[in-house]
Structures are given as structure tokens and as C-alpha cells.
């Protein structure tokens, strides 16, 4: 009887895991390498069911100072199921020469603790799958660095904010609170 219960429990666990994996929203259905690291993260495992602010960043841009506000926003809401997720890109020729330099700007210069992924393209033929899905859902590709995409708990884009919109602008914080 115990053996039968154990087998049923294992089968149920496998089925539940399979069901969860198959229900991953397309936007989160990828594994990304972390910035300046060999470590990877499954976006689905890490962020499914959370509200996200996905941002394409650059370490040598006139808007790089937004890292400070992004960090403040992340800290303000992270305990409520929210995360900022940064994706450095050199698509606009504004990211420092190497991932190591980009990481220095993020982690040392601005004290970023929110997740930063490896440098990737956010538009064009080599677009990161996250930004491909963002463009598909929203119809908007980044026009410059620090475009911000608010993603609801269901993995769908619910808001798009241009470079010039401060991360702590009331429009963004109000929407974050609405979706938390």
C-alpha cells in the first residue's frame, strides 16, 4: 500500500511539473545567461506569476542614470511579486565594450541588485526571444535604450513606456500597483 502511494505520488508530481512547464507564457519560455556569468536562469522557473518591468539597458547612454530609479522601483515592490529585469544591448551603440564593463557599471557604479541578463539584441534578425515576443504582443520594439515593458502575472505585456519616461513616474508605479 505504501509503495502504491509512493508511485502515485511520483506520477502526480511528474504530471504537475509537466503541466506547469507546458503552461509557461511564451514571453518567459527561454533560458537566459546572466550578465558577465556562465550561470543561466529559466525565466519561466524564476519569474512565472510575477509582475515584471523588462528594460533594455545600455551602460554608456545619457539615460544610464535610470539604473538608480530602476533599483529603487525594484526594491519598493520586490516583496509583492515584482521584479525589474534588465537586458543590456548594444543595438544603439551605447553599451560599454565588454560584458565585464557593463557589469561594472550596473553592479558597482549603480548598485543594481535586480536581475541583469547577458547582452543581447532587442531588435533585428538576432533579437532575443523575450524581445521578439514583446514586439509581437505590443507591436513596439525599443526605439532607444531604456524602453520599459510592464508584463503582467500572466506573461502578457500590459504597458509600454519610452526611454524618456522615468522608471518611478506615476504612470508606471500606478500600473505596477494595479497588476500586483
Active site residues: 61
Among the listed residues 57, 45, 24, 55, the one whose alpha carbon sits nearest the alpha carbon of residue 156: 24
List the grid coordinates of 47.
519569474
For 151-174, b where at least 16 C-beta lie within 10 A, e where not — what string? bbbebebbbbbebebbbeeeebee
Pairwise CA distance, residues 161 & 125, whole Å: 23
| Residue 64 buriedness (CB in 10 A; 0-12 / 13-18 / 19+) | buried
Read off φ and ψ for residue 112, nearest 5 degrees.
-65, 130
CB proximity list for 45: less than 8 A, separation 6 or greater:
none
Amino acid at each position: 500500500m505504501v509503495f502504491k502511494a509512493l508511485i502515485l505520488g511520483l506520477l502526480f508530481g511528474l504530471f504537475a511539473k509537466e503541466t506547469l512547464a507546458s503552461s509557461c507564457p511564451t514571453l518567459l519560455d527561454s533560458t537566459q545567461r546572466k550578465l558577465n556569468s556562465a550561470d543561466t536562469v529559466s525565466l519561466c522557473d524564476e519569474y512565472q506569476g510575477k509582475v515584471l518591468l523588462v528594460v533594455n539597458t545600455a551602460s554608456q547612454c545619457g539615460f544610464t542614470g535610470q539604473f538608480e530609479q530602476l533599483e529603487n522601483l525594484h526594491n519598493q515592490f520586490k516583496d509583492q511579486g515584482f521584479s525589474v529585469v534588465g537586458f543590456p544591448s548594444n543595438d544603439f551603440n551605447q553599451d560599454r565594450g565588454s560584458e565585464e564593463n557593463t557589469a561594472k557599471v550596473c553592479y558597482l557604479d549603480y548598485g543594481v541588485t535586480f536581475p541583469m541578463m547577458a547582452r543581447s539584441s532587442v531588435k533585428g534578425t538576432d533579437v532575443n526571444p523575450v524581445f521578439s515576443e514583446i514586439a509581437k504582443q505590443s507591436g513596439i520594439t525599443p526605439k532607444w535604450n531604456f524602453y520599459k515593458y510592464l508584463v503582467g502575472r500572466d506573461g502578457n505585456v500590459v504597458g509600454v513606456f519610452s526611454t524618456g519616461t522615468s522608471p518611478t513616474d506615476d504612470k508606471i508605479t500606478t500600473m505596477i500597483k494595479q497588476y500586483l
